[in-house]
Chain A
Amino acid sequence: MQHDDVIWDLIGNKSFCSYKVKTKTQQFCRNEYNITGLCNRSSCPLANSQYATVREEKGLCYLYMKVIERAAFPARMWEKVKLDRNYAKALEQIDENLIYWPRFIRHKCKQRLTKITQYLIRIRKLTLKRQRKLVPLSRKVERREKRREEKALIAAQLENAIEKELLDRLKQGTYGDIYNFPIHAFDKAMEKQEEETESEEEEEEDEEESGTREFVAEEEFEESDLSDFEDMNNLKGSSDEEEDAEEQSSEEEETEEELEEEKTKAKSKGKTPLKGPVRKKRAYVEIEYEQETEPAQKSKAT
């Protein structure tokens, strides 16, 4: 026998209902035929022998009805009526089928139908738009790639490669006359030979100023261990020549840096690219001192 009140008394309040989901503020009903989704006396499909719902399957809405006459036949209990695709017509159909039914159920059925049609429309709209595809990443592959990238970075030696490329381009002359460096090694050697003769006179003057020749020579000797091996290769023989070379190179640097300073001043536009790396500025300052204590400063610079 169908004693709705007794059933509700048990499953609603006192005993257990497997469809009930309790949260802090509310109770929900997980039953698939429930019309509102809440656990109420009027919404419970188990505790109401006359009940109706609207459900959606594959884009079509159906009206399900349950009456007390079929309560004994669970297989035939729910009557399924296919509703029209047209929203207005579907509403009329609901009215037609649920005529003389309680107001609450009729109203809730229509509300549910409305909601369902709204979300179906949304689904159709979204499928036309671009959809985000989630591509799964394989963790192993990602880890492997990360490690390989690190190793490739180390093997690449980027700064060296870039510097080499830039120097090659300078040698080839792609920069034209912007930088006034002598390009060929021959020219370099020639220049150094010329400057040796020039600087000999200057050297004498320096020696007179500083005093002891031995002091200078010793410092030179130490430096030959520390200084650039490039200089060593280019120059031959005695420490005198090395001395000369270093003096010359310091002079060269001086002139170069003066040139560059001029260039930067000439270049200054709205957005000044400015001076360049900080190191350059420091080097320029050192050179001012170099005339007095050249060799000592040289070792620090290299």
Chain B
Amino acid sequence: MDSNEATTSESVSKKKGKTKKVKRKVKSDEAPVQEMEQAEGEETEKKSESGPCFPPTFSVSEIKNKQRRHSMFLKLKEEKRKQKLELKKKKKKERKALGDKAPPKEVPKTIENQRIYDETTVNPEDEEVAFDEGTDEFSAYFNRLTNPKVLITTSDRPRGRTVRFCEQLATVIPHAHVYYRRGLALKRVIPQCVSRGFTYLMVINEDRKVPNGLVLCHLPDGPTAHFKVSNVRLRKEMKRRGKDPTEHVPEVILNNFTTRLGHSIGRMFAALFPHDPQFVGRQVATFHNQRDFIFFRFHRYIFKNEKKVGIQELGPRFTLKLRSLQKGTFDSKFGEYEWVHKLCLYCIIFSATHLLIRIL
């Protein structure tokens, strides 16, 4: 170690780039090593079995020469990988040696595991939530006073893909009607829909010949949800799909709508479908919420025995991501927003103030 001290004063930051072949001392790895044994290494050229060693204070990014820096970095990576592998092997040996007494395997960390508990999660017995749900806009549906009737339309001048998507949606959702937009303003469409007894208005927005947005408006003054649509797969693009869906009313599965916001969105989806599913049809529509992405799937199922069920995908599939939830019917400028995704907040503020300035 004395010889090291002699050389450090020279070596610190200037002699770089020369390949360092340094004796590896397992203990010295653990203890903080301050010196660099460059000159020594070159003279003696003692390559140990385990390769070069990198004292902690030295960082690869300090080398100016790109090629040497790159090679150093690769060596560093290699070393780290080897260490990791050794650690794994050791652990595995220990496990084997202990046999039954080994501690149980650790559960890997996933985003779902590590999530902080959300205070807005709905507790099924919560009275406040129950009261709210008894008196909100969907109470009419859930008390069986109204039957859903859906109007599906698009933005101006829809292209083929969007039109086909609308048609397929209309087959999936019972009592759904597709209407061509013809450049009408939504503010005028909505009162007409209400007068004809529609409960839902669904507008599919299109961009560059592909559907990319969905506005779901519950009609008699209901909340309006604006979603971003992605990964639309039409029926003929599905692999191993079955025949077309029939007219039977499908069942609905809503997964992971746990928070207050999720609950209200979940109810929105539930109210799209009629109350009593026809089990004879064996069709099921699923809205699965995972990490704020809502995946929609439409399957036909069959029970092979009490433990096994086979499902076959029919119908279109798409994913939704909620962008904003408005209290009343669709009004982009003056609406009262219950929830807005932070990235869309700016757009909304901008459009609102822009209008105000014009009026003034």
Cβ of B247 and Cβ of A133 under 8 Å apart? no
A85 interface residue per 8 A CB criterion: no
Q: Which of A176-225 contact B (CB under 8 A)?
A: 176, 178-179, 181-183, 188
- Residues on A with C-beta less than 8 A from B279 are 175-176, 178
Known A276-B282, A280-B302; contact A166-B288, beta-carbon cutoff 8 A:
no
Contact A158 B303 (CB under 8 A): no
Chain B 192-226, CB-CB to A under 8 Å as 1, else 0, gives: 00000000000000000000000000000000000
User: At the interface, yes or no: A153 with Cβ under 8 Å from chain B?
Assistant: yes
How close is B207's CB to chain A, nearest CB, in angstroms? 9
Contact of A271 among B246, B282, B351 (CB under 8 A): B246
Check A96 for interface membership: any CB of B closer than 8 A: no
A277–B284 contact, CB under 8 A?
A: no
Q: Which of B112, B243, B293 contacts A148 (CB 8 A)?
A: B293
**Closest chain A residue, CB of each to CB of B293:** A152
- Asked if B295 contacts A156 (CB within 8 A), the reply is yes
Is B319 an interface residue when CB atoms closer than 8 A count as contact?
yes
Q: Which residue of B lies closest to A156 (CB)?
A: B290
Which single member of B112, B230, B309, B347 contacts A135 (CB below 8 Å)?
B347
Nearest Cβ in chain B — how far from A123, in angstroms?
15
Query: What chain A residues lie within 8 Å of B300 (beta carbons)?
Result: 273, 276-277
Contact yes or no, B295 A166, CB < 8 A = no
Q: Which of A131-175 contact B (CB under 8 A)?
A: 132-133, 135, 138, 141, 145-146, 148-149, 151-153, 155-156, 158-159, 161-163, 165-167, 169-171, 175
Which of B112, B230, B251, B311 meets A163, CB within 8 Å?
B311
* B248 on the A face (CB < 8 A): yes
Give the shortest distance, in Å, between A120 (CB) and chain B (any CB).
Answer: 18
Question: Is there contact, CB below 8 Å, between B306 and A277?
Answer: no
In whole angstroms, what is the CA distance A292 to B280 when docked? 35
Q: Give which listed residue, B231, B242, B306, contacts A149 with CB less than 8 A.
A: B231
Select the residue from B111, B251, B306, B319 with max chain A CB neighbours within 10 A: B306
Contact B242 A161 (CB under 8 A): no
Q: Which of B291, B310, B343, B347 sits near A276, CB closer than 8 Å?
A: B310
**Selected contact of B230 from candidates A146, A159, A167, CB within 8 Å:** A146
B240 to chain A, nearest CB (A): 9
Task: Give Cα A170 to B291, complex, Å.
Answer: 28
**A236: CB under 8 A from chain B?**
no
- A residues less than 8 Å from B310 (CB atoms): 276-277, 279-280
0 or 1 for each of B325-355: is its CB under 8 Å from A? (1 = yes): 0000000000000000001000100010000
CB distance from A174 to the nearest CB of B (A): 8
Q: A9 near B: Cβ within 8 Å? A: no
CB of A253 within 8 Å of the partner chain: yes
A277-B305 in contact given A130-B185, A155-B110, A165-B255 (Cβ < 8 Å)? no
- Given A135-B347, A271-B247, A277-B242: A163 touches B309 (CB 8 Å cut-off): yes
Q: Looking at chain A's contact residues, is the secondary structure mostly helix, strand, loop, or mixed?
A: helix
Chain A contacts for B183, CB-based, 8 A: 129-130
Number of chain B residues whose Cβ lies closer than 8 Å to a Cβ of chain A: 47
Whether B4 is near chain A, meaning CB under 8 Å from some CB there, is no
B299 at the interface (CB under 8 A from A): yes
Whether the pair B305, A252 counts as a contact (CB closer than 8 A) is yes
B248 touches A273 (CB 8 A): yes
CA distance in complex: A172, B354 (Å): 55
| B297 contacts partner chain A, Cβ-Cβ < 8 Å | yes
Instruction: Tell me the complex Cα distance, A188–B288, Å.
Output: 32
CB pair B306 A183 closer than 8 Å: yes
Q: Are B286 and A162 in contact (CB under 8 A)?
A: yes
Q: Which residues of B contact A271 (CB under 8 A)?
A: 246-247
Residues of B within 8 A of A267 (CB): 280
Across the interface, name the chain A residue whose C-beta is closest to B247.
A271
A57 at the interface (CB under 8 A from B): no
Chain B residue numbers with a CB within 8 Å of A178 are 279-280
User: Is B64 close to A, CB under 8 A?
Assistant: no
Determine the distance from Cα of A183 to Cα of B306 in the docked complex, in whole angstroms: 7
CB distance from B226 to the nearest CB of A (A): 12
A138 and B344 CA atoms in complex are apart in Å by 11
CB contacts (< 8 Å) of B185 on chain A: these are 129-130
Q: Mark A77-113, 1 if CB is under 8 A from B, else 0.
A: 0000000000000000000000000000000000000
Q: Which of B260-315 contact A (CB under 8 A)?
A: 279-282, 284, 286, 288, 290-293, 295, 297, 299-307, 309-312
Q: Complex Cα distance A267/B280, Å?
A: 8
A162 touches B290 (CB 8 A): no
User: Roughly how many angstroms separate A232 CA and B163 CA in the complex, as a whole number?
Assistant: 52
Chain A residues with CB under 8 A of B305: 181, 249, 252-253, 256
Query: A58-74 interface mask toward B, CB cutoff 8 Å, 1 = contact, 0 = none?
Result: 00000000000000000
10 contacts across the A-B interface (CB closer than 8 A): A165-B255, A170-B306, A170-B309, A253-B305, A271-B247, A273-B280, A273-B281, A273-B282, A276-B282, A277-B300
Task: Give 18 A-B pairs besides A153-B295, A166-B301, A170-B309 with Cβ atoms closer than 8 angstroms.
Answer: A129-B185, A145-B230, A145-B321, A148-B293, A151-B291, A152-B292, A155-B110, A155-B112, A161-B288, A162-B286, A162-B299, A163-B311, A179-B303, A181-B305, A253-B305, A276-B312, A277-B242, A277-B311
3 closest Cβ pairs, A-B complex: A181-B306, A156-B290, A276-B302
Binding site for B on A (CB under 8 A): 129-130, 132-133, 135, 138, 141, 145-146, 148-149, 151-153, 155-156, 158-159, 161-163, 165-167, 169-171, 175-176, 178-179, 181-183, 188, 230, 249, 252-253, 256, 260, 267, 271, 273-274, 276-277, 279-280, 283
Query: Footprint of A on B, CB under 8 Å?
Result: 110-112, 156, 183, 185, 230-231, 242-243, 246-248, 251, 253, 255, 279-282, 284, 286, 288, 290-293, 295, 297, 299-307, 309-312, 319, 321, 343, 347, 351
